[in-house]
A = this chain, B = another copy of it.
Amino acid sequence: MKLHGYFRSSAAYRVRIALNLKGLSVEHLSHHLRKGEQCAPAYLAINPQGLVPALEGNAGEVLTQSLAIIEWLDETHPEPPLLPKDPLQRAKVRAFAQAIACDIHPVQNLKVLTRLRELGLPNEQVTAWAAWANREGLSACETLIAGERGPFCYGDKASLADLCLVPQLANARRFGVDVNAFPRLLKAEAAATAMKAFADAAPDKQPDAE
């Protein structure tokens, strides 16, 4: 399989963690987002959204959207599971993941920040926007798992929730958010990043890191 990604894309980072947890090795194809390579016609033919990640399967099939890719990996390579078995617990893990993947990440991604600059906002306001999206969203995430036993977001195993949390916390720091306000999230992050699957997926470990 081939993973179309970029070292700093937090959505691609989620999929890298999932692949590592499943013990799957893939060919990594980098598309330099800041240079706009994700909008090249050849890539748009793979993913019309012009976003990474996209996963090309062995039969040439293309999967897009990080959470859909991860659920597919979980359905086709069930061990270790990335979602609990109980429907209510699955819903909680998915909701936490979506609180990040829907309500934080797209509001502070490169496309939106570029648009804000085009509208004339100065750089410090654009960074403040990204910090706001991260702070607001992570604050809600902190409350969502405040009563959950750890050390991971949900219980004693890494799940889809942790796959979304770790890359988002990296983004939050990059935008200057004081993540010490989120002790329960940091506890989950510490448990996750102690695992080789998470550590190896970090942006600075990727061949295209700058």
Task: List the interface of chain A (C-beta within 8 A of B).
Answer: 48-51, 57, 61, 63-65, 67-69, 71-72, 75-76, 87-88, 90-92, 94-95, 98-99, 101-103, 105-107, 112, 115, 119, 121, 125, 129, 132, 137, 139-140, 143-144
Contact = CB atoms under 8 A, between A and B. Distances in A.
Count of identical protomers in the assembly: 2
B129 A115 contact: yes
B143 A99 contact: no
A66 to B, nearest CB: 8
A171 to B, nearest CB: 15
A87 B103 contact: no
A101 B102 contact: yes
B94 A87 contact: no
A103 B103 contact: no
Given A121-B119, A144-B48, A65 B106 contact: no
Contacts of A90: 71-72, 75
A102 B164 CA distance: 13
A98 B125 CA distance: 28
A125 B129 CA distance: 17
B65 A98 contact: yes
6 contacts: A48-B140, A61-B88, A63-B92, A72-B94, A102-B102, A102-B106
Contact of A140 (B50, B61, B88, B99): B50
A105 B102 contact: yes
A61 B147 CA distance: 14
Contacts of A61: 88
A198 B75 CA distance: 29
